[in-house]
DNA sequence: CGGTTATGGTCAT
DNA sequence: TGACCCTAACCGC
């Protein structure tokens, strides 16, 4: 269940583990027809763009396009463990194995198709070539709320529901503020904070958004255990007291996704 | 053990 | 806006 930081980490893990190695490729579940076409190829590259992952091979220009969606996982293991459950794609070099399960997308794409996927994506805060200005301009022109914009992958690629909630809380921004009402300074701050938080997420492999001065230990509070493994201010903390103002964190379903915010710290 | 939920996205209406 | 995709973890019984 990944936001972009997980995909970037995965891409570098795959490169570290398999790049330059001849691999066996299969679809134990049978639902990835392209798997056998790649069997015996040399894996060459793995690259993330937002939540999309592209895996390249030495003897073909085609790439495997993976999107994990909300359920998907891609996990590395040592050796060649027995296949358990539904594995869409397995890659192994005999020393290590990676299993892909439950992806939204797993398909072999030609270069034009890869370009078309990337073309639909906005700048990715974790990519060194990201065009921050493109994000800022798009936000400042939009009548959509900033909560919606931060989930729109054509506006910013890789941000998900946790980073959306946490960045807006950290900056004290009402999630329902229209993009065009934010002003350039706050739009720039949103980009910058997202970059910083997602870099930390990529490095640690978990989402931590709580500033040092609010750390549970520093505040004399017991550490909390969240599914995502890190410490956050508002994500899935509805009905709990806000760490800053003490008022209740609220939640509401907006456009089919759960939004979490503090109505006091993020007042309009 | 069954029901619920999830860090996502597409498509039809 | 809702159905659907598809898997695993979690919760209450």
Distance A128 CA to C13 C1' (A): 51
Q: pLDDT-based confidence at A36, cuts 50/70/90?
A: very high
In the predicted structure, residue A225 carries a pLDDT above the cut 60: no
Q: pLDDT-based confidence at A223, cuts 50/70/90?
A: low
In the predicted structure, residue A73 carries a pLDDT above the cut 80: yes
| In chain A, residues 124 through 143 whose Cβ sits under 7 angstroms from any atom of nucleic acid strand B | none
Any atom of strand B under 7 A from CB of A15? Answer: no
Any atom of strand B under 7 A from CB of A151? Answer: yes
In the predicted structure, residue A1 carries a pLDDT above the cut 80: no
Element (H, E) at A98: strand A96-101
What's the mean pLDDT in A145-154?
96
Any atom of strand B under 7 A from CB of A72? Answer: no
Weakest-pLDDT range from A74-78, A136-140, A165-169, A215-219: A215-219
In the predicted structure, residue A224 carries a pLDDT above the cut 80: no
Question: Do the Cβ atoms of A253 and A259 come closer than 8 Å?
Answer: yes
Q: Which residue shows structure tokens 């398999």?
A: A18
d(CA A159, CA A136): 15
Element (H, E) at A35: helix A35-38
Task: Give the tokens for residue A14.
Answer: 């795959």
Q: Which residue is nearest to nucleotide B6 (CA to C1')?
A: A70
Helices A132-141 and A184-204: crossing angle, nearest 10°? 130
pTM greater than 0.85 (yes/no): yes
State whether the Cα torsion A253-A152-A237-A234 is positive or negative. Answer: negative
Nucleotide nearest to A5 (CA to C1'): B7
Distance between the two ends of chain A, CA-based, in angstroms? Answer: 31
Distance A1 CA to B8 C1' (A): 8
Please tell me the number of Cα atoms within 13 Å of A28 on its side-chain side.
17
């Amino acid at each position: 269940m990944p936001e972009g930081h997980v995909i970037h980490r995965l891409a570098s893990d795959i490169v570290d583990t398999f790049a330059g190695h001849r691999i066996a490729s299969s679809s134990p579940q049978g639902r990835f027809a392209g798997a056998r076409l790649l069997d015996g190829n040399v894996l060459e590259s793995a690259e993330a763009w937002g939540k999309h992952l592209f895996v390249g091979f030495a003897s073909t220009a085609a790439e495997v396009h993976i999107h994990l969606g909300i359920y998907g996982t891609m996990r590395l293991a040592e050796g060649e463990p027995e296949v358990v459950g539904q594995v869409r794609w397995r890659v192994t070099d005999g020393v290590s194995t990676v299993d892909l399960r439950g992806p939204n997308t797993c398909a072999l794409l030609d270069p034009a198709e890869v370009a078309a996927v990337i073309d639909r994506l906005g700048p990715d805060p974790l990519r060194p070539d990201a065009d921050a200005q493109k994000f800022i301009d798009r936000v400042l022109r939009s009548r959509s709320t900033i909560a919606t914009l931060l989930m729109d992958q054509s506006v910013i690629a890789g941000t998900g529901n946790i980073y959306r909630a946490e960045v807006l809380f950290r900056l004290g921004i009402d999630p329902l503020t229209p993009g065009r009402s934010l002003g350039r300074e706050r739009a720039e701050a949103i980009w910058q904070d997202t970059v910083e938080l997602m870099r930390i997420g990529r490095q640690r492999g978990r989402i931590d958004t709580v500033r040092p001065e609010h750390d549970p230990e520093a505040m004399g509070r017991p550490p909390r255990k969240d599914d995502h493994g890190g410490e956050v201010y508002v994500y899935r903390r509805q009905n709990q007291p806000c760490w800053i103002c003490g008022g209740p964190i609220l939640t509401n379903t907006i456009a089919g996704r759960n939004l979490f915010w503090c109505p006091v710290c993020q007042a309009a």
